[in-house]
Amino acid sequence: MDISVVIPLFNEEESLPELVAWIKKVMDEHHFSYEIIMVDDGSRDSSWAVVQQLSAENPVISGISFQRNYGKAAALHIGFQEAKGDVVITMDADLQDSPDEIPELYRMITKDGYDLVSGWKKVRHDPVLSKNLPSKFYNWTVRRMTKIKLHDMNCGLKAYKKQVIKSIEVYGDMHRFIPVLAKWAGFKKIGEKVVKHQERKYGVTKFGLERFIRGPLDLLSVMFISKFGKRPMHLFGVLGTLMFLVGFFAALWVGVAKIYALKQGIRLALVTDNPYFYIALTSMIIGTQLFLAGFIADLVTRNSPDRNNYQIGDRTK
């Protein structure tokens, strides 16, 4: 099979028939063999009934329905598990992603050799203050932290080699950082394509102000997991040791200064009245706690059942 199209959806009953017809038109024009996997993330409207009807009318369409709303990452994870195509395309169900981009995305994966191609909505039809400016700042921050040169990390329209989506685990709100997860899994050839952003035709946006809080926290999580997930002691141990040494030498300096003053007959305040003593003591305590946290985390990691779970790209006989 050439292409699997994975579509997470939530309360998109009006757009689904039009989206499916559009995808079918593009696929038929380019003679692709394909499947459409629609994952209903606990919709409260009649989206699931529409998916069932579309699936009954067209055998290439399959649907999965969650009993409640788990989030876009969960929907993508389940869709990725079910996908069978050599190239996997993800797109949102609100008609803001154009299926006309699919042939070029497919070509970039199969001909140009990209592992992942992310869409770039260079011209956006979204409110400037609530979406465009925060999105630009967010993408700039992620580029600086991850060294992945994408202008629109969170674009729903992406193309993947099948091996990529079978090698990563998307959970929480990590759908925003799939290129980071792919790079961490060893897929370095990540590209970008300018795509057309359609104006929303039906419904309302599903993303609220909470994304401004969750986004930075998820970024910190994925950065930590990607670098120190299997070796937490390398982070906590180093930080703990540095904090302890800073506190130790600060306390040593306070003590030596006090002894020197006594020998010279200089009156100084008691060591326990010196604020630097408490700063040094606090630093040593925090350093010890960080070191122990790293030690415990390392023990947990070493006893994890997937501690030797490594992604194998290829093998010979």
pLDDT digits 0-9 by tens, 103-122:
999 999 999 999 999 999 88
Provide the pLDDT confidence category of residue 211 given band limits of 50, 70 and 90. Answer: low
Tell me, what amino acid is at 70?
Answer: Y
The pLDDT, as a whole number, for residue 128 is 53
Give yes or no for residue 130 having a pLDDT over 80. Answer: no
Residue pair 62/55 in contact by the 8 Å Cβ criterion: yes
Residue pair 195/206 in contact by the 8 Å Cβ criterion: no
Higher pLDDT pick, 244 / 127: 244
Provide the pLDDT confidence category of residue 213 given band limits of 50, 70 and 90. Answer: low
The pLDDT, as a whole number, for residue 205 is 65
Give yes or no for residue 181 having a pLDDT over 90. Answer: no
Residue 58 structure tokens: 């067209």
Phi then psi for 36, rounded to 5 degrees? Answer: -120, 120
Mean pLDDT of 260-264: 83
The pLDDT, as a whole number, for residue 29 is 96
Mean pLDDT of 209-225: 67
Mean pLDDT of 213-229: 69
Mean pLDDT of 288-301: 86
The pLDDT, as a whole number, for residue 47 is 94
CA distance 222 to 213: 15
Provide the pLDDT confidence category of residue 226 given band limits of 50, 70 and 90. Answer: low
Give yes or no for residue 15 having a pLDDT over 90. Answer: yes
Provide the pLDDT confidence category of residue 310 given band limits of 50, 70 and 90. Answer: very low
Mean pLDDT of 36-42: 95
CA of 127: how far to CAs of 123, 179, 206, in Å? 12, 25, 14
The pLDDT, as a whole number, for residue 276 is 87
CA distance 108 to 102: 10
**How do residues 87-102 score in pLDDT, each as one tens digit?**
999 999 999 899 999 9
Mean pLDDT of 50-74: 93
**How do residues 141-177 score in pLDDT, each as one tens digit?**
878 877 888 888 888 999 999 999 999 888 877 888 8
pTM: predicted TM-score of the whole model, two decimal places: 0.74
Instruction: Give the percent of the chain with pLDDT over 90.
Output: 51
**How do residues 188-208 score in pLDDT, each as one tens digit?**
999 999 998 887 777 666 555
The pLDDT, as a whole number, for residue 203 is 64
